[in-house]
Amino acid sequence: GKDIKLSDLKGKVVVLQFFGTFCEPCKAEIPFLEKLYRKYNGKIEIIGLCVDYIGKSPAELKDFVKSMNISYPVVIPDENTWYQYAYITETDAIPQTFIIDKEGYIRYFNVGYTPQYDPLFEKAVEELLSEK
């Protein structure tokens, strides 16, 4: 029910996942992101951005969030936000997951999901957390 601005999260490592409720790889990545969110509680922010609900009511998304046991914020991005990030990756395939450093710069991103990337992804988060 609230707007989230990346500028308000400056000083924290931020993970953004653009996903769809219909997308099996997206759903497969969510438990890993939840694990990261709990492990680095308060040190990182994770935000799920549900692209298949653009233009729909956030209330409709609550059942999905509950069914996936997601405790981090999940929002519906506006079309412009989604297109800006899809432009960076040059695709509208999902999931698209970005790691943003404490200064607000995108440092890593991945399109798609495979569990083999989990250790690399977590290492990237740890490296950014250790930067001053």
Whether 61 shows a pLDDT value over 80: the answer reads yes
Helical pair 24-39 and 118-130, crossing angle rounded to 10 deg = 40
Query: Can you say how many angstroms the Cα of residue 85 is from the centroid of all Cα atoms in its chain?
Result: 12
Higher pLDDT, 51 or 60: 51
Higher pLDDT, 60 or 77: 77
The first and second tokens of residue 113, run together, are 């999901």
For residue 1, name the pLDDT band (cuts at 50, 70, 90): low
Give the C-alpha separation, 38 to 41, whole Å.
Answer: 5
Summarize pLDDT for 86-113 with one digit per residue, the tens: 989 999 999 999 999 999 999 999 999 9
Q: What is the CA radius of gyration of the chain?
A: 14
Whether 132 shows a pLDDT value over 80: the answer reads no
Handedness of CA 101, 96, 21, 122 (dihedral sign): negative
Instruction: For residue 105, give Cα distances in angstroms to 63, 69, 112.
Output: 32, 29, 21
Higher pLDDT, 89 or 59: 89
Summarize pLDDT for 24-49 with one digit per residue, the tens: 999 999 999 999 999 998 899 999 99
Whether 53 shows a pLDDT value over 90: the answer reads no
Alpha helices in the chain (DSSP H): 24-39, 62-67, 79-89, 118-130
